[in-house]
Amino acid sequence: MGIWEFIEKQVLGMKWLSDLVYYLLSQFNINMESKLGGSLHFFIYDTIKIIILLCVLIFIISYIQSYFPPERSKKILGRYKGIGANTIAALLGTVTPFCSCSSIPLFIGFTSAGLPLGVTFSFLISSPMVDLGSLVLLMSIFGPKVALMYVIVGLLIAIIGGSIIERLNMDDQVADFIKQAKATSIESESLNQRERVQYAFEQTQETFKKVFIYILIGVGIGALIHNWIPEAWVTSILGSDNPFGVIIATLLGVPMYADIFGVIPIAEALLAKGALLGTVLAFMMSVTTLSLPSLILLKKVVKMKLLFVFVIICIVGIIIVGYIFNAFQHVLI
């Protein structure tokens, strides 16, 4: 076994944990070939794996983020113009481990600070859809090629989406109280290493508390799909025989609310049941970017016209990406 294969299977995929859970369940005389045994294995293994990766990754990401507080982020973004600013905003979103709802306060802060509207929307799209944590988790399940392509296309949606909104000159569609808000000071308090570690630890605790229930729900749904839902049902709706599978998956994801850590187990189970890769990824992107709670919050700070444009841009971009991934699935996995 090569070094990369070892990292992919044993470090990221935690095959050792899968084998350990399988062995321990067998000691309780549970038939591991049964639906119940398979469901228990899937639930326990995926829950522990995601929690371990989540805590490690969020700690690392939060430590990095301690160097980029909102005030400093505003200052960095203010240095760039045009597509360059959208690109930096989208990249900045990758180091903010927030769900779609948690990203909106930063969006408000950036907008009230006078940053271009398109730039703030590039951040708003990128932050929940793409982050370093999702990259590693996706690698652990789908492999490095799929994970890297997911991040690239997610960034492209954020950059292009923000650029389109900027060109539409929709500054008048921001709520008046946002435009009238005073920007906070650009200067931020410097932290020493101990304070950065403490900040990362606190962020890890806070994020874990927020997403733990969604991990359990997501893994539970994944276990149900993986072991109880007939494969024919999944393939008939989300498989290659249904040309509208990507559209259906995207629209199904909108009313749901889950962190990407909770939706990945569902995606894993759907793929194992015969759903196409692009269809599964479109579902993931839709859930994390266009959840109904986040749209309700966003409606409080932007007017209906801008909200509608944002939703349409995201849906169209996600659907296009889904069909592209489906077309090249044989190359990626």
302 phi and psi, to 5 degrees? -130, 160
Q: What is the pLDDT of residues 103-151, one digit of tens each?
A: 666 677 677 667 788 988 898 888 777 766 677 778 877 888 888 888 8
Angle at 131 between CA 125 and CA 136, to 5 degrees: 145
Six-digit token string for 304 = 């209906």
Instruction: Give the Å distances, CA to CA, from 315 to 18, 113, 287, 329.
Output: 36, 28, 11, 21
233-242 confidence digits (pLDDT tens): 788 888 877 8
Q: Which tokens sit at 87?
A: 């690109």
8 A C-beta contact, residue 282 and residue 311 = no
Question: Does residue 317 have a pLDDT over 70?
Answer: yes
Instruction: From residue 272, give the alpha-carbon distance in Å to each of 114, 238, 275, 277.
Output: 46, 12, 7, 10
Give the amino acid at 203. Q
**Residue for token pair 């971009």:** 317
Q: In the chain, what are the domain boundaries?
A: 3-181+194-332
User: Is residue 293 scored above 80 in pLDDT?
Assistant: no
pLDDT for position 278:
92
pTM: 0.74
